[in-house]
Amino acid sequence: MKNSDNLFEMIEKIHSEMQELGIGLRDEMQELRIGLRDEMQELRTGLRGEMQELRTELRGEMQELRTELRSEMQELRTEHRSEMQELRTELNSFKEETNTRFDTLETKVDSISDKLDDVEANNADRHVTIEGEVRGIKKSLSRIEIVTADNWGDIARLRARKRIK
């Protein structure tokens, strides 16, 4: 039994060493967990701080961009208003010039229309006068033809008398 007692003692000894090792390992694991938790907490805190700095930095840059964009937009508005005013002025000038030209043309057309009316009235008077003169000429021609015919008749009679004598 000595061997079995020795064996039993050895087993007990190994068992007790293993329990001590297990407790030690548990303690080490607990310490590691605590250490890792603390490190993670520090990392979180550090990352939060960095993220806050980045946010602040980005907010500042965004504010600068907004300010620049507002300034550029204001400049563009001013330029466009100026260009629009120039276009309005130019358009009004063109409009006035066009109206002046149309007024001049209207005056000339009215003058020409009045002259045409006068010419038509004169032509109507001339037409009546000429028509009267043409009628007179036709009457005169008719008389001349009649007189000529009478003269031919007289000439024929004289010739006939001359032949008879």
Site of tokens 């001359």: 162
Rounded mean pLDDT, 133-138:
88
pLDDT at 57: 93
pLDDT at 16: 79
Name the least confident of 74-88, 100-114, 117-131.
117-131
Rounded CA gap, 40 and 58, in Å? Answer: 26
* C-alpha dist (Å) from residue 44 to 20, 32, 142: 35, 18, 136
Confidence of residue 5 (pLDDT cuts 50, 70, 90): confident
- Identify which has the larger pLDDT, 56 or 1: 56
Q: 3-state DSSP call for residue 165?
A: coil
Q: pLDDT tens digit string along 47-102?
A: 898 999 999 999 999 999 999 999 999 999 999 999 999 999 999 999 999 999 98
Percent of the chain with pLDDT over 70: 98
Rounded CA gap, 23 and 16, in Å? Answer: 10
pLDDT at 98: 92
- Identify which has the larger pLDDT, 120 or 157: 157
Percent of the chain with pLDDT over 90: 35
Model pTM score: 0.40
